[in-house]
Structure 1
Amino acid sequence: MADMIDNVRSAVQDRAELPGMSLMEHLDELRKRLIRAILYLLVGFAIAYIFHDRLVAFIQKPLVDIGLTMTMTHPTDALNLIIKTSVVAGAILSSPFIIYQIWLFISPGMYAHEKKYVWPFMSATVGLFVGGAWFGYRYVLPGAINVLVMGFGKNFTHMITIEDYTGFFLAVILGLGICFELPILLFFLSLFGIVDAGFLVRHIRYAILIIFLITAVICPLPDPVSMCIFASPMLVLYLLGVAVAYFVHPSRRKAKELKAS
């Protein structure tokens, strides 16, 4: 812990040497980036809304595959579903542009050699999220529905409402998509010198514990085997994050510079 605090203090001191911006300049830059991000989100929402019938069919497919459909319990359920799916799909569609605005906002506080990571960062962020969402949609969601509905619920009448199913669907898909961003988090922590590969390896037991605690919360299946299957991609991603931390940590870059000189 002391090493981590020292790393944070050193990183803050290094950042203090960069050219600064006034408070008003920061606020003006934040306002500009927020406006552009909202505009991109609105465009994504409009495109997603055009294809809302296909989106609803896509969401409902795991239920249709076992012979069920969502049930309306309120006259506005269908409209709420269309709006909700259009917002989420629009956010995913516009996410590369929104992430780029975030990057532009934080880039003034970064060194020139750090700014070269913008395109790998954007590609990895979007790719990992889509990969996590795909893993959830392709494997976790169908398996969970089959076990929970056709297994535990085989002796009951099935009435799966739009609100309950979409909440369950988004929890699995978005939850896994966000969890797959773990290497990106480790990338930034290492890039700014807060952690390094050695720190991550030494504390891997705690990382495994945290991963399984997160899995216990978001995993829709109650058995340990399913939890292990659910957690295994996150463990692989943690190890990937360790490798990323090894290559981007400032100490390694300084060592390369000294060796070159």
Structure 2
Amino acid sequence: MTETAPKLPAPETPPEPEGEVKASFFEHLTELRKRLIQSLLGVLVGMCLVGYWSEDIYRYVMRPVLAALPKGDASLKYTNFIEPFMVYLKVALYGGLFVAAPWVLFQIWQFIAPGLYKREKKVVIPFLAFGTLLFYSGAAFCYFLVMPYAFPALRDIAGPDMTPIIKMEEALSLVLAMLLGFGVVFEVPVIIAFLSMIGLVSADFLAKYRRHAIVVNVLLAAIITPTGDPFNLALMAVPMIVFYEVGIILARILGKKKPAAA
């Protein structure tokens, strides 16, 4: 009688080589570095484009500040000879960032696009166009509708017997913070749409916590706006609430769909 050979144990599946995981990690780091360099180059080109007009740009963005100063001394001060140069250099830097915003958004999209589905990649053009338009709209909204009321309100807080001494650099920092803050806040619909596309949030989740979002938006508006009066607070809070609702609509359209039950 022939003896049957003993069965050998099935070979174990070898674990995934650790080198491949490391390689994938370093590939992502390399891609991230590439996009950061491209973004910085775009900002540098923007700086070169607007650098020549830095003084003119500074005088233009300072108009709401100058309009709020006393009529007898409507001028900004500087305390050392290097300050005007640094101020105009800062204007060139932020002006370059402002001009290069579409390019920077495109680089962000190029970094995250490989992890998205084909349907999601098709919205790259609307993503860039809508995001850029909202960023510029937020800055314009701040400059033309918020600043003309905010700075006089801040001036009146001190009282009629107080005289402001406003430095060039301090005024620029406040104006730039407000412009960038409003520009970023106006990006809320784009941010929500992106988070819904990758499945981090859903329209139902956003709608469920709508009341909480309203409270958070009002608190953020109170922090971003430099004055505490209800009018300026409403100028910031109302668009934030509206954009949150727009984000819910975009999340319903672009968000990941739940798989149908079998």
Are 1:231 and 2:237 matched, yes or no?
Answer: yes
Q: Which AA in structure 2 matches 1:115?
A: K
Residue 249 of structure 1 corresponds to which residue in structure 2? 255
* Equivalent position to 2:161, from 144, 155, 163: 155
The TM-score normalised by the length of structure 1 is 0.84
Distance 1:62 1:150 in 2: 15
More helix by share: 1
Equivalent residue runs for 1:91-102 within 5 Å: 91-102=97-108
Superposed displacement of residue 228, structure 1: 2.3
Secondary structure of the residue aligned to 1:102 is helix
Residue 66 of structure 2 corresponds to which residue in structure 1? 64
- Deviation sequence 1:59-87 (CA, Å, 0-9, x none): 22113334422111222110111011110
Residue 24 of structure 1 corresponds to which residue in structure 2? 26
Residue 215 of structure 1 corresponds to which residue in structure 2? 221
Q: Which AA in structure 2 matches 1:176?
A: F
Could you list the runs of 5+ residues in structure 2 that have no partner in the other structure? Answer: 1-22
The TM-score normalised by the length of structure 2 is 0.84
Distance 2:184 2:28 in 1: 28
Distance 1:62 1:229 in 2: 16
Q: Which AA in structure 2 matches 1:80?
A: M
* Equivalent position to 1:55, from 57, 72, 78: 57
Distance 2:43 2:99 in 1: 8
- Aligned CA-pair RMSD: 1.9
Distance 1:153 1:93 in 2: 39
**Contact (CA 8 Å) 1:186, 1:242: kept in 2 or not?**
yes
Could you list the runs of 5+ residues in structure 1 that have no partner in the other structure? Answer: 1-20
Are 1:83 and 2:89 matched, yes or no?
Answer: yes
**Contact (CA 8 Å) 2:65, 2:171: kept in 1 or not?**
no
* Equivalent position to 1:40, from 42, 54, 71: 42
Identity value in percent: 34
Superposed displacement of residue 150, structure 1: 4.8
Residue 197 of structure 2 corresponds to which residue in structure 1? 191
Aligned residues: 235
Q: Which structure has the larger Rg?
A: 2
Distance 1:192 1:237 in 2: 19
**Contact (CA 8 Å) 2:146, 2:235: kept in 1 or not?**
no
